[in-house]
Amino acid sequence: MSSAGKSPVNLAEASEPWWRGAVVYQIYPRSYLDTNGDGVGDLPGITRKLGYIAGLGVDAIWISPFFRSPMRDFGYDVSDYCDVDPIFGTLDDFDVLLAEAHRLGLKVIIDQVYAHTSDDHDWFAQSRASRDNPYSDWYVWRDPKPDGSPPNNWQSVFGGPAWTWDARRQQYYMHNFLASQPQLNVHNPVVQEALLAAAKFWLDKGVDGFRLDAINFAMFDPEFRDNPPWPVGTRTITRPFDLQHHIHNQSHPDIPVFMERVRSLADTYGAVFTVAEVPGPDPLPEMRAFTEGETRLSSAYSFDFLYAQSLSPRRVKASQMNWAGSFSEGWPSWAFSNHDAPRCISRWSQPGADLSAYAKLTNALLLCLRGNPILYQGEELGLPQAEVAFEDLQDPEAIANWPRTLGRDGARTPMPWTRGKTFAGFSEHKPWLPVGQGHAERAVSEQDEDHASVLNFTRAMLKVRREYRALQLGDVSFPDVAPPLLAIRRELNGELVTCLFNLGAETVPVPAELVSGHKGLLASGVAQDLPSELAANAVWIGRR
């Protein structure tokens, strides 16, 4: 249906900021494209592929950290917030990337890591030098208990106590992640000013948004009370961190107040997108606190889907209905895969499933949800999780907890561009991680001209989302159908789009009333314009 035949957009809808309902494409720069032959992706590599990204039909790119860093956690250990690490290029390279993205109509979102820095950061070097210098309270320092043990029982995400002894200060310093990632004292207003100054540096360059990494770890209980235990039950334990309720080492109620300062700065630059990553077992209260009203962040996303081991209509409904109200209650973002989580088609597909069909289903579902979809590089190709041998692992968490955790490397392997080229066209030299098994067969070169490919289906689905405002901004509801059939309705100003997904392994009937009066827009695994049934992993999108 052409745009001329659609319902007119009302003024309130037209005045919504660019980011509401926008589709974001996540780029993990180490693994996107290597242009200088060192086996690591770089900023010029991203710039070279911006035409491809714009051709997908997304609205924005989010680039994972490229700041100066010793790379012990691959960029999430920042040693200089306002410079590019030489492995990725230069500030001039970033300026070129930003200008080209904007020329192509793409917004650019970058990470901000506010909970911690690298221990190589000059701030930490100053802070650890003494207890009475101007930086002494920029990090979290505590005396040992009388017996010499750490100040409390807090545990690091990556294993072991969240405290490391420092002989210079004769104190313990706190770290929620690696010992080389000391915790910033974001309770300190001077630290907040320094972080806002770093954000302003990038806003002055022209970035369009920030993704705030693990922001619920930014503040802690100033009384340093012990975390209560969490009974093991039937959960798989890979680290001591899993044995506690994390009510004191994170999620302090002053974090939303700091978010207001971030939003206030962002608003001086126009419609800047600010999205919080909120990991944890009960993220909803924090997501609401971070995003409610007009003075806090634009959006937040949780791990509802990222670590889920299965996909069901019930899970989708529960996640969506938490955000089915007015814009003022908060606006969600959604990711099924990213650089920290195993790729969704490997987690969710049943043994023997057609992975291409399943990838079309998951990509379509992500793009039909109410909120901002975040599509991770390679999802548009239907890449499965790669298996990385122990000797090739780079992820410190995976190495420390082998083999009890899959780690993150299997989702970070190089992007396959050209089958038949060295390392699938990612680099001419051995890449920092091996190319995933079977990924070259799913390279862009193999899918680009194949009408039935995952890549071209995803492009078509993005086109449908762009053409129908109901999919971007509309209300969401779920007609009552028997699982594994999932039916989603999106509606705005009389425009109604119905989205059907068979999440099961067997053909299911489609109630006639679901599709009555509709015209098919896009389908996978079903040929009928108005289907009476859906095969396993089939998708049908129609409008009325």
Q: Which of 213, 304, 379, 446 is catalytic?
A: 213
Residue matched to tokens 């309130």: 12
The CB-side HSE value for 300 (13 A sphere, CA atoms) comes to: 30
- Tell me which DSSP letter residue 538 carries: -
- The rounded distance, in Å, linking the Cα atoms of 298 and 293 is 9
What secondary structure, in 3-state letters, does 235-246 show? CCCCCHHHHECC
- The rounded distance, in Å, linking the Cα atoms of 110 and 122 is 22
On whether the CB atoms of residues 255 and 263 are closer than 8 A, the answer is no
On whether the CB atoms of residues 39 and 429 are closer than 8 A, the answer is yes
Tokens found for residue 255: 């974090």
Write the DSSP assignment of 464-502 as a string of letters. Answer: HHHH-HHHHH-EEE-----TTEEEEEEEETTEEEEEEEE
Q: For residues 380-414, b (16+ Cβ closer than 10 Å) or e, as one string?
A: bbbbbbbebeeeebbbbbbebbeeebbbbbbbbbb
Burial of 445 (0-12, 13-18, 19+ CB in 10 A): middle
Residue 450 among the catalytic residues: no
- Tell me which DSSP letter residue 107 carries: E
- The rounded distance, in Å, linking the Cα atoms of 107 and 207 is 8
- Torsion region of 538: left, alpha or beta (phi above 0 gives left; psi -120 to 50 gives alpha): beta
Q: For residues 92-112, b (16+ Cβ closer than 10 Å) or e, as one string?
A: ebbeebbebbeeeebbbbbbb
Backbone angles phi, psi at 26, to 5 degrees: -85, 130
Torsion of CA 370, 3, 62, 386, to 10 degrees: 80
Residue type, 443: A
Q: Which of 277, 395, 409, 446 is catalytic?
A: 277
- The rounded distance, in Å, linking the Cα atoms of 51 and 9 is 29
Residue 208 among the catalytic residues: no
- The rounded distance, in Å, linking the Cα atoms of 158 and 411 is 18
Helix, strand, coil percentages, rounded to 5, for the chain: 30, 20, 50
Tokens found for residue 374: 């975040």
Catalytic positions are 213, 277
